[in-house]
Structure 1
Amino acid sequence: METTGCVVVGGGPAGMMLGLLLARAGVQVTVLEKHADFFRDFRGDTVHASTIRLIDELGLGEEFRRLPQSRLSSVVFPVPDGPPVTIGNFDSLPPPYNYIAMMPQWNFLNFLAGAAAQEPSFSLRMGHAATALVRNGGRVTGIRYRTADGAGGELLADLVVATDGRHSTLRRAAGLPPKEYPVPFDAWWFRLPRHASEQGAVAGIVPAFGRGQALVALNRTDYYQMGYLAPKGTDTRIRAEGVEGFRRRIAALRPDLADRVDAIASLEDLHWLDVRLDRLRQWHINGLLCIGDAAHAMSPAGGVGINLAIQDAVAAADCLAPALLRGRVPRAELARVQRRRQLPTVVVQAVQRVMHRVIFGPIMTGTRAGAPAVLLFLARHIPAAGRVLPHFVAFGPRPEHAPAFARRAEARPRPHP
């Protein structure tokens, strides 16, 4: 029978960070990822300032900064009757943590996997999908899995941690129902070409608003990563319009990009995100802990979901490593992780719910086509307001620091050029 100290199910940012930290504590940890590689488009590509600081604390900052990335330094809203308004300026934060790094998530995950592979107690199994929980005497004692070629097996562990996302197989198997909150929109992600001559900072965010729809463009080096937002439940209608109908929607919102909407060759080029906002009342049962999106699915509003998940992983490693080294994790320790991370989760989701109600709701219902006047007023006339949002997005409430056992040689972070 296969055994490990901790099995982490899901190789996203939370799972890979948790695996790295626990391995640095000397815990025998195995991460299972159901896909054969990390290469998937339109996952969250932001590495927040609190995560960059964490990477420096782990002694990995220099290697991280060598990865291909661009710097997001501000968020700007267009205004029909005047110049664009800067809603949040990350340059106002103290350097060197005064930006959000934008990079393909597969690069970030490969970076974490490479760092974790240096630890003798770490194991990563790609192409392994967890299918069920193994229980013994009222306690979760491991998982059943299926490999890419259809073979099955069991892996027993002192603790199972579910980091398998908003559609978590393990939280469903554990009977942990989430409390769901209304969300007014879904998102469709796709790419459009970006010409070298076009202006605008790489990594800049350019939103466009219409009645009943919105469009976000993230400037990349040679393409735009586009996010089209429409009222929840309209996916079937949008697809019934066909690719020509979708192209017309994009061209109406961004006439300056109408010359390249033919790059959307078919509806297969669209990645639909069923946006959810939910939270488990209880993140654990005996032998199992849920963190990240498995514990609290986040809206893309504000782009803070990855940051929150990584902070969960740091707190979980800090709390649980001693118990895992002893070979048994009392349920009280799992409850301690939830207590430590529940307040930040509640705060972030409360802010997202306000954004849904004040910004996105009126746009999706067609009662407004743009940012609320009060938000623009605060950005224009109240300097303190322009500093609050960047700090909240870049660090979040209660940012975590690397546990002492996970730190390596003291990093010397340098300001980003």
Structure 2
Amino acid sequence: METTTQCAVVGGGPAGVMLGLLLARAGVKVTVLEKHADFLRDFRGDTVHASTIRLLDELGLGNGFGALPQSKLGNFRLPAGSGDSVVLADFGLLKAPYNYVAMVPQWDLLTLLVEAAEQEPGFTLRMNTEATDLLRDASGAVAGVVYRTRDPLTGETNGSGEVRAALTVACDGRSSALRSKAGMVPREFPVPFDTWWFRLPRTADEDEPVASISPRFGASDVLLSLTRKDYHQIAYLAAKGLDPKLRAEGVEAFRARVARLRPDMADRVDQIRSMDDLHMLDVKLNRLPRWHKPGLLLIGDAAHAMSPAGGVGINLAVQDAVAAARVIAAPLLSETLDDGHLAAVQKRRWLPTVVVQTFQRLLHRAVFSQVMAGKQPNPPKPLVFVARHVPGFAKLPARMIAFGPRPEHAPGFARRKP
């Protein structure tokens, strides 16, 4: 089956759904392709920073967002050795109401955005639809995508087709299939750790708020627990390349690792029944030198994979989507879109990407590399001194983390009143 749209967005994550919503509000005919049957998947980020919260207010979605289950982070602490820590960023020093980082299950955020987008006549979301290749026109420019569909019950392939579009936007993540099909190779930066995700049940007497995050640092590993309604979503961080060793040691040894870091959960680690219950994430930190080709634009993790450090990935991807919508909406409507417009999107978002990734690389060296090597985290002493002794200093990194460099505002065509 062949369909035609003005913009084909591949990937129904935060960047793809936000871009679809914004373009649809501009009057662009946009089709979002998502390979999964729903958004109810674990092991994805939950941090929604102040820049995104402000954006949702500008889009008229603030009340809906506020009604979602969430907890609020008031500060960001940096391990400073010998079990001590220092407040590096105090979000409470920022101007209300954008003086916190929210922890919100990502599927709830995506559902909120989709419900808003589906009110626009030009928006189409196609679930169970996986883009597998690029279509090209006679000049070699990208002209859409080839896709296959899956049965939502069996997962078996049950169809295929094409979506032709004036622009294809790849929002399909760090393992982007479209990036590979386009022959685009990102520059990789070293990362000292990988992440193993799994679930543990939550007991009825626990009082941690839903969506809160609880970090625990060990001798050479880290455990992060994200609290859901009925269970804990756990991330175990250890040295990159350790996966074969962990699996060779077996599930009993892994349970012991978890119990050591979270003694309060030792009574339920037997719920990790085998090593197959672990979902290993090969953590990447990279970026493409060029985010576009004629007819094709990459944003979010497809253009620049982010480390989990700082939880900024969702927000940087959303900011990419806002910048892209502002630049490409009018040219799409007037059928004047060219490669210069796509280059303008990258130019707008290049500096924020480099700044955030540089911050993550510094955090890797100062904290995670030290921990993974079995050492106490040793952040720069001048930074620790300033954070402890200079009044108001914590407001600067708080603003950088909460809003990031060059935060984007909703385009006028997308704004709505609550």
TM-score normalised by length of structure 2? 0.92
Tell me how far apart the structure 1 counterparts of residues 248 and 304 of structure 2 sit (CA, whole Å): 32
Tell me how far apart the structure 1 counterparts of residues 370 and 89 of structure 2 sit (CA, whole Å): 22
Question: How many Å apart are 1:243 and its aligned residue?
Answer: 1.3
Residue of structure 1 in register with 2:12 after alignment: 11
Residues 351 and 79 of structure 1, relative CA distance in 2, 3 Å threshold = closer
Tell me how far apart the structure 2 counterparts of residues 255 and 265 of structure 1 sit (CA, whole Å): 18
Residues 199 and 146 of structure 1, relative CA distance in 2, 3 Å threshold = closer
Residue of structure 1 in register with 2:148 after alignment: 146
Residue of structure 2 in register with 1:156 after alignment: 164
Residues 381 and 202 of structure 1, relative CA distance in 2, 3 Å threshold = farther
Which residue, out of 209, 216, 240, partners 2:224? 216
Which residue, out of 168, 178, 190, partners 1:170? 178
Tell me how far apart the structure 1 counterparts of residues 266 and 396 of structure 2 sit (CA, whole Å): 36
Residue of structure 2 in register with 1:111 after alignment: 112
Matches within 5 A, 1:400-411: 400-409=408-417, 411=418
Tell me how far apart the structure 2 counterparts of residues 382 and 264 of structure 1 sit (CA, whole Å): 46
Residue of structure 1 in register with 2:59 after alignment: 58
Q: Do the aligned residues in 1 keep the contact of 2:193 with 2:237 (CA within 8 Å)?
A: yes
Comparing 380-389 and 44-53, the one that deviates more: 380-389
The answer to whether the aligner puts 1:372 opposite 2:374 as a matched pair is: no
Tell me how far apart the structure 2 counterparts of residues 285 and 373 of structure 1 sit (CA, whole Å): 41
Question: How many Å apart are 1:394 and its aligned residue?
Answer: 1.3
Amino acid at match of 1:235: D
Residues 32 and 389 of structure 1, relative CA distance in 2, 3 Å threshold = same
Residue of structure 2 in register with 1:276 after alignment: 284
Residues 318 and 100 of structure 1, relative CA distance in 2, 3 Å threshold = same
Residues 103 and 16 of structure 1, relative CA distance in 2, 3 Å threshold = same
SS at match of 1:154: strand
Residues 313 and 73 of structure 1, relative CA distance in 2, 3 Å threshold = same
Residues 181 and 320 of structure 1, relative CA distance in 2, 3 Å threshold = same
Matches within 5 A, 1:1-80: 1-76=2-77
Tell me how far apart the structure 2 counterparts of residues 246 and 116 of structure 1 sit (CA, whole Å): 43
Q: Do the aligned residues in 2 keep the contact of 1:194 with 1:224 (CA within 8 Å)?
A: yes
Which residue, out of 287, 293, 301, partners 2:309? 301
Residues 156 and 80 of structure 1, relative CA distance in 2, 3 Å threshold = closer
Residues 388 and 298 of structure 1, relative CA distance in 2, 3 Å threshold = same
Matches within 5 A, 1:333-412: 333-366=341-374, 368-370=375-377, 372=379, 374=381, 376-409=384-417, 411=418
Tell me how far apart the structure 2 counterparts of residues 71 and 217 of structure 1 sit (CA, whole Å): 15
Comparing 216-225 and 399-408, the one that deviates more: 216-225
Tell me how far apart the structure 2 counterparts of residues 19 and 259 of structure 1 sit (CA, whole Å): 45
Question: How many Å apart are 1:287 and its aligned residue?
Answer: 0.4
Residues 38 and 205 of structure 1, relative CA distance in 2, 3 Å threshold = closer
Tell me how far apart the structure 2 counterparts of residues 354 and 339 of structure 1 sit (CA, whole Å): 24
Structure 1 unaligned segments of length 5 or more: list them.
412-417
Which residue, out of 258, 274, 295, partners 1:287? 295
Tell me how far apart the structure 1 counterparts of residues 103 and 75 of structure 2 sit (CA, whole Å): 12
Residues 86 and 190 of structure 1, relative CA distance in 2, 3 Å threshold = farther
Instruction: Give the fraction of aligned pairs with identical amino acids, expressed as a percent.
Output: 60
Question: How many Å apart are 1:224 and its aligned residue?
Answer: 3.6
Residue of structure 2 in register with 1:232 after alignment: 240
Residues 35 and 262 of structure 1, relative CA distance in 2, 3 Å threshold = same
Comparing 389-398 and 278-287, the one that deviates more: 389-398
Question: How many Å apart are 1:226 and its aligned residue?
Answer: 2.4
Tell me how far apart the structure 2 counterparts of residues 243 and 295 of structure 1 sit (CA, whole Å): 36
Residues 378 and 214 of structure 1, relative CA distance in 2, 3 Å threshold = farther
Tell me how far apart the structure 1 counterparts of residues 397 and 143 of structure 2 sit (CA, whole Å): 43
Q: CA RMSD in A?
A: 2.1
The answer to whether the aligner puts 1:260 opposite 2:262 as a matched pair is: no
Tell me how far apart the structure 2 counterparts of residues 201 and 40 of structure 1 sit (CA, whole Å): 20
Q: Do the aligned residues in 2 keep the contact of 1:45 with 1:104 (CA within 8 Å)?
A: yes
Q: Do the aligned residues in 1 keep the contact of 2:10 with 2:169 (CA within 8 Å)?
A: yes
Deviations 1:285-323 (A, max 9, x none): 000000000000000011101100000000000000010
Amino acid at match of 1:44: G
Amino acid at match of 2:279: H
Structure 2 unaligned segments of length 5 or more: list them.
151-156
Amino acid at match of 2:76: V
Residue of structure 2 in register with 1:86 after alignment: 87
Residues 150 and 328 of structure 1, relative CA distance in 2, 3 Å threshold = farther
Residue of structure 2 in register with 1:124 after alignment: 125
Comparing 397-406 and 196-205, the one that deviates more: 196-205
Amino acid at match of 1:210: G
Amino acid at match of 2:254: F
Deviations 1:337-395 (A, max 9, x none): 000000000000011111111211121122x1345373554443234442223222211
Amino acid at match of 2:376: A
SS at match of 1:299: coil
SS at match of 2:158: coil
Q: Do the aligned residues in 1 keep the contact of 2:81 with 2:378 (CA within 8 Å)?
A: no
Tell me how far apart the structure 2 counterparts of residues 76 and 197 of structure 1 sit (CA, whole Å): 27
Comparing 190-199 and 27-36, the one that deviates more: 190-199
Amino acid at match of 1:110: T
Tell me how far apart the structure 1 counterparts of residues 160 and 228 of structure 2 sit (CA, whole Å): 41
Question: How many Å apart are 1:48 and its aligned residue?
Answer: 1.3
Tell me how far apart the structure 1 counterparts of residues 5 and 207 of structure 2 sit (CA, whole Å): 52
TM-score normalised by length of structure 1? 0.92
Q: Do the aligned residues in 2 keep the contact of 1:129 with 1:147 (CA within 8 Å)?
A: yes
SS at match of 1:233: coil
Q: How many residues align?
A: 409
Comparing 388-397 and 10-19, the one that deviates more: 388-397
